[in-house]
Amino acid sequence: MYDRLVELVFSGNYEPGANLTERALAEQLEVSRIPVRESLGKMVAQGLLLGGGKREGVRIRQYTPDEVRQLYEFRLFLESGAVRAAAKYAQADDVKRLEETWSEMDHHVGDYGSQTWAKLDHQFHGAVAHASHNKRVIATVRVLLTECHYVFYLRPSRQRRQPSQADAKAWMTIVQQEHRQVIDHIVAGDADGAERVVRQHIVPNRFLSQNNAV
């Protein structure tokens, strides 16, 4: 239930600052209000949502530049460790998943604004975490990526500066080059190289998201 609610809340269908009600969410998820209430409370405790009191309710947070900085610094710490573990523990099926996702993303280079590209990007980083074979890392990265995915891709377009088509394609090409390097380092068992590329990959995205914060 918690994972389903996180995905729904960060689906891009809610405006920053929007109030969320247990009843409406329960109806959308076709469940009772009790698990929704518990999951909302957990999200508030984790800082994913604001509020939680009986009078103020729960609402979507409006990300400030400093909050985006904190979000991406946490992602940098976590994914750096995850990719090091992936370089050590990845199995053949993990590499296959990464290769398939990379190939599919390559078909969408230049298709900026496509939810297919955004979902595949999310999927690629999730696959890296999965290759760590650490259940705690996988679970934490799943939620973290959902939040980053919302901040980077899904906030209402009027709140984000849109790049030109040429700039978008150039950025997506670099993303794919770095994803390719991550796979190659994982296959080679090169933890240092994999971490170096992940750090290079995440930091520019943090600054882009920070500049576009509400």
Q: Residue 95 and residue 90: Cα distance in Å, rounded?
A: 7
Give 208's pLDDT tier (boundaries 50, 70, 90).
low
- pTM passes above 0.85: no
- Contact by Cβ (8 Å): 183, 95: yes
Q: What is the pLDDT of residues 41-61, one digit of tens each?
A: 888 887 778 886 656 678 888
Q: What is the pLDDT of residues 153-179, one digit of tens each?
A: 665 444 556 667 788 888 889 999 999
Q: Where are the alpha helices (DSSP H) in the chain?
A: 2-9, 22-29, 33-45, 65-89, 92-106, 115-130, 135-149, 165-188, 191-211
Residue among 68, 33, 65, 31 nearest 47 (CA): 68
Q: What angle do CA 114, 109, 171 make, to 5 degrees?
A: 95
List Cβ neighbours of 133 (8 Å cut-off, separation of 6 or more): 85, 89, 90, 91
Q: Residue 168 and residue 173: Cα distance in Å, rounded?
A: 9
Q: What is the pLDDT of residues 80-96, one digit of tens each?
A: 999 999 999 999 999 99
Fold of 2-60: Arc Repressor Mutant, subunit A (1.10.10)
Please tell me the class of the 65-211 domain.
mainly alpha
Domain residue extents for the chain:
2-60, 65-211
- Contact by Cβ (8 Å): 205, 72: yes
Q: What is the pLDDT of residues 93-145, one digit of tens each?
A: 999 999 999 999 999 997 766 678 888 998 999 999 999 999 999 999 988 88
